[in-house]
């Protein structure tokens, strides 16, 4: 079990962060913009001697702590089971746990430092080589009720806070007893009752701040126990006038089992504290309670602060659950009970819920940021975007989420241009993208194998670890089998001979499946095989279990379900079938964050469950792959099916009857077919796809396919542009779940799409699913006694 620790004020030193600011220039720039000064200049050179001033110290330490963690994580540090930080360092622990992103956390710390720097009276005194109980006795004997215990750092190191004159008097008393004490150079009596005004001001500031649920337990300074759900704002305000219970925090972790402590930063002050705590015999469960004055201060912070700041500060521990109750709180199911908890832990998610990618950025940067901040995750719709657009999207998401929340990108099968598929993977590898959703693949390609194998490594014990996770969307057992098996040997050998993977990675490839997760896609929007989930999913479960048992893979391959999930009843069915997670798609297209046009969102909002149709997929026209699209208000499906019929019937554009060609030019393409071909030819030359052009010159049939594909690109572009005059030509991928969702939210605040936000939909859907299942299970339980009685 691993715990990561972050130091607080006192760990600062000129030169800190050397090498880190250069490694993370974008984060450094963002931090400097937020703070209004060059944070790297402050940390490395401190030209104005400001680094020891509270309002500068705290933001500087937060930035350096964060960069230390980012570097360790990028160098292979594994996800911890627990997080903790000393005073200011607790903000870095909360950052890693997902409570907020880097920028938001820095703004909080900046405000905290400004407020605390206003505390001019009072100070701190460190008392060494004396236990807290003896120190408390000395304080009581000499009537020093004005002093508070600010830090329980180790069993023999305690810090007191209060008026400087009384601290000096205590230091003299201790010196007479040969007890060493050291005044600390700080601006105020931190972590004491004297910080109550600052705590109230900070609580008011916290009331306007939205905290995401913690994905990793964080041990709170104020309680020495993990943060309870919803307790972040209250505990952060309380922390200013409550003692830092570092001894309790470490002993709590000691009670959980063997812990490996990893400290961020160079000084290792916390590591020395932990070593002393571990070597000492544990005292009673907690130190004596806070002095009455300090306890009263904690209560005043809670009662005087706005209600939005959280529950009362004293006590701040989560209440014990009643016997026999469930996490739902009232004996019922909670959203977090659904799906596989191991899947949630590995992904760092609040719920067993993902949002799938949608083409050309419909699942947008804004969508992924909003999900990440809510403790959820989605996949960017990278299909149809240029490499430059994808790269800019990655950087934007990382900036917004501070590198702390997981997000994924789509990899769309590209039969027409395998080189483009490989170039996309190479971009993902350069940016260390750890989650990829593989869509529309009929077989395993070299690009997929390169991505998967490039993430293979061995940990210190020699066990295989794979940092690059592929979630494969599949709808047939044949394709599922390909992703459940190891990478094809011929592809592995070719990558090895080309120097794209190491010999060790080639060897490990035998022992891992191509996919970390399979998402079984039933009848969905976009590419679909029109499968029935009740038939398809159990068959995939059996297939997975057989192959995993035969191959003896070291880890689990998770199975999720997508397609048709737009209501609690549909999601409940997926979980009852045994899905480890669910994935939504169509319903997210009709949200504020969606990258499609407002006109399309209006059409989707008006959809009913029967308003879809099947059409040929433009990217797979030759093989007859199908997509599901919006039928209501659009002629696209009928026209696309007509083009596919013409493709099957004729060998070239020239063979198509002239009357039909004129009809296509006037109603479909809105220009002569010769002009369409000229545009297509110029595009192929401009994008370096000469091979396709050469093939078209030799094959009139292939040339016809390229001309017809222009129509699919054109209709998709019209939908993105949102010109109301072109509605009848919109190509909008969607499934009937969109209509079902519309019916479910009819008459509620979510009926207009302008009120639909992707994270709120997830929350509402998972809450509704838990409630739906709970009601059904209770109804079944009530029927059981009746059946038993009737059989007597």
The residues annotated as belonging to the active site are 87, 191
**d(C-alpha 250, C-alpha 689), whole Å:** 61
Mutual orientation of helices 132-141 and 164-176 as an angle, nearest 10°? Answer: 110
**CB-based contact 206:240 (threshold 8 Å):** no
Residue 159: closest CA among 171, 169, 145, 175: 171
Helices (H), 466-583: 477-484, 489-497, 503-508, 533-551, 568-576
Contact partners, residue 196, CB within 8 Å, separation at least 6: 241, 297, 300, 301
Cα 765 to Cα 15, 55, 56, 111, distances in angstroms: 50, 43, 44, 36
What is the CB-side half-sphere exposure of residue 640 using CA atoms within 13 A?
A: 35
Q: Which helix (H) or strand (E) holds 500?
A: none
Helices (H), 485-562: 489-497, 503-508, 533-551
**d(C-alpha 133, C-alpha 116), whole Å:** 29
DSSP per-residue letters across 618-668? GGGTTTT-EEEEE-TT--HHHHHHHHHHHHHH-SSGGGS-HHHHHHIIIII
Say how many Å lie between the first and final Cα of the chain, rounded. 54
Q: Are strands 517-521 and 469-474 parallel, antiparallel or unpaired?
A: parallel
Cα 684 to Cα 416, 421, 559, distances in angstroms: 12, 16, 39
**d(C-alpha 428, C-alpha 451), whole Å:** 8
The pair of three-digit structure tokens given for residue 692, joined into one six-digit string: 């396709």
Q: Are strands 435-439 and 464-466 parallel, antiparallel or unpaired?
A: unpaired
**CB-based contact 190:123 (threshold 8 Å):** no
Give me the sheet containing 612-616, strands edge to edge: 526-527, 626-630, 612-616
**CB-based contact 162:150 (threshold 8 Å):** no
- Tally of CB atoms within 10 A around 45: 12
User: What's the gap between Cα 71 and its chain centre?
Assistant: 19
Q: Are strands 464-466 and 456-458 parallel, antiparallel or unpaired?
A: antiparallel
Q: Are strands 377-380 and 353-355 parallel, antiparallel or unpaired?
A: parallel
**CB-based contact 439:524 (threshold 8 Å):** no
As a whole number of angstroms, the longest Cα–Cα distance in the chain is 110
**d(C-alpha 413, C-alpha 444), whole Å:** 10
Which is it for the CA torsion 767, 772, 773, 774, positive or negative?
Answer: positive
**CB-based contact 191:240 (threshold 8 Å):** yes
Q: Are strands 353-355 and 260-263 parallel, antiparallel or unpaired?
A: unpaired
Contact partners, residue 753, CB within 8 Å, separation at least 6: 590, 591, 592, 601, 602, 604, 605
**CB-based contact 714:669 (threshold 8 Å):** yes
**CB-based contact 771:599 (threshold 8 Å):** no
Q: What is the CA radius of gyration of the chain?
A: 30
**CB-based contact 262:80 (threshold 8 Å):** yes
Question: Position of tokens 């607080």?
Answer: 8
**CB-based contact 433:408 (threshold 8 Å):** yes
């Amino acid at each position: 079990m691993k715990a990561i620790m972050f130091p607080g004020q006192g760990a600062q030193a000129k030169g800190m962060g050397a090498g880190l600011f250069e490694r993370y220039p974008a984060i450094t720039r963002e931090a400097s913009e937020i703070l209004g000064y060059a944070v790297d200049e402050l940390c490395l050179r401190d030209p104005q001697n400001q680094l020891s001033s509270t309002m500068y110290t705290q933001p500087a330490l937060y930035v350096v702590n964060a960069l230390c963690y980012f570097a360790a994580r990028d160098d292979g540090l594994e996800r911890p089971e627990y997080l903790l930080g000393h005073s200011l360092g607790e903000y870095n622990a909360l950052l890693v746990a997902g409570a907020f992103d880097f920028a938001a956390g820095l703004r909080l710390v900046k405000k905290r430092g400004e407020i605390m720097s206003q505390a001019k009276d009072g100070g701190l005194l460190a008392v060494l080589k004396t236990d807290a109980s003896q120190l408390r006795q000395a304080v009581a004997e000499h009537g020093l009720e004005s002093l508070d215990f600010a830090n329980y750092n180790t069993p023999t190191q305690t810090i007191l806070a209060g008026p400087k004159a009384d601290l000096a008097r205590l230091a003299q008393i201790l010196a007479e007893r040969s007890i060493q004490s050291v005044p600390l150079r700080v601006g105020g009596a931190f972590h004491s009752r004297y910080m109550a005004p600052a705590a109230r001001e900070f609580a008011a500031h916290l009331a306007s701040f939205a905290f995401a649920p913690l994905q990793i337990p964080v041990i709170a300074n104020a309680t020495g126990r993990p943060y309870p759900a919803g307790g972040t704002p209250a505990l952060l305000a309380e922390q200013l006038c409550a003692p830092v219970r570092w001894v309790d925090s470490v002993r709590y972790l000691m009670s959980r089992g063997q812990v490996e402590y990893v400290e961020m930063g160079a000084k290792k002050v916390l590591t020395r504290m932990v070593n002393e705590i571990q070597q000492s015999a544990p005292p009673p469960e907690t130190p004596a309670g806070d002095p009455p004055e300090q306890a009263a201060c904690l209560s005043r912070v809670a009662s005087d602060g706005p209600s939005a700041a959280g529950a009362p500060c004293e006590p701040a521990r989560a209440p014990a659950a009643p016997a026999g109750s469930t996490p739902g709180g009232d004996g019922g199911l909670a959203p977090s009970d659904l799906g596989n908890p191991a899947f949630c832990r590995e992904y760092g998610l609040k719920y067993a819920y993902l949002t799938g990618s949608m083409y050309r950025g419909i699942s947008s940067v804004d969508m992924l940021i909003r999900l990440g901040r809510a403790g959820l995750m989605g996949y960017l719709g990278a299909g149809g975007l240029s490499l430059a657009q994808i790269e800019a999207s990655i950087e934007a998401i990382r900036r917004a989420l501070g590198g702390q929340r997981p997000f994924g990108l789509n990899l769309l099968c590209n039969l027409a241009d395998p080189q483009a598929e490989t170039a996309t993977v190479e971009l993902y590898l350069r940016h260390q993208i750890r989650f990829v959703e593989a869509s529309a693949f009929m077989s395993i390609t070299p690009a997929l194998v390169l991505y998967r194998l490039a993430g293979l490594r061995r940990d210190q014990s020699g066990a295989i670890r794979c940092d690059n996770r592929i979630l494969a969307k599949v709808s047939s057992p044949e394709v599922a089998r390909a992703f459940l098996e190891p990478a094809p040997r011929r592809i592995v050998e070719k990558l090895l001979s080309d120097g794209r993977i190491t010999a060790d990675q080639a060897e490990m490839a035998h022992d891992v499946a191509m996919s970390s997760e399979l998402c079984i896609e039933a009848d969905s929007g976009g590419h679909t095989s029109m499968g029935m989930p009740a038939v398809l999913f159990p068959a995939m479960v059996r297939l997975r279990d057989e192959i995993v048992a035969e191959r003896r893979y070291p880890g689990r391959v998770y199975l999720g379900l997508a397609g048709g999930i737009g209501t609690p009843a549909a999601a409940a069915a997926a979980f009852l079938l045994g899905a480890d997670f669910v994935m939504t798609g169509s319903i997210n297209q009709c949200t504020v964050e969606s990258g499609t046009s407002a006109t399309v969102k209006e059409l989707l909002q008006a959809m009913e469950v029967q308003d879809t149709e099947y059409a040929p997929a433009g990217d797979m026209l030759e093989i007859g792959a199908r997509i599901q699209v919006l039928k209501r208000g659009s002629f696209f499906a009928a026209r696309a099916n007509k083009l596919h019929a013409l493709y099957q019937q004729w060998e070239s554009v020239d063979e198509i009857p002239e009357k039909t060609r004129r009809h296509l030019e006037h109603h479909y393409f809105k220009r002569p077919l010769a002009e369409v071909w000229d545009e297509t030819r110029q595009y192929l030359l401009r994008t370096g796809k000469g091979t396709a052009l050469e093939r078209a010159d030799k094959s009139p049939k292939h040339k016809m396919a390229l001309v017809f594909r222009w129509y699919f690109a054109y209709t998709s572009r019209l939908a993105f542009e949102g010109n109301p005059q072109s509605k009848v030509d919109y190509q909008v991928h969607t499934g009937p779940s969109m209509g079902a969702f519309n019916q479910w939210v009819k008459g509620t605040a979510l009926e207009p799409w302008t009120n639909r936000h992707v994270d709120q939909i997830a929350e509402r859907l998972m809450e509704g699913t838990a409630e739906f299942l709970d009601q059904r299970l209770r109804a079944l339980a009530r029927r059981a006694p009746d059946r038993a009685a009737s059989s007597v």
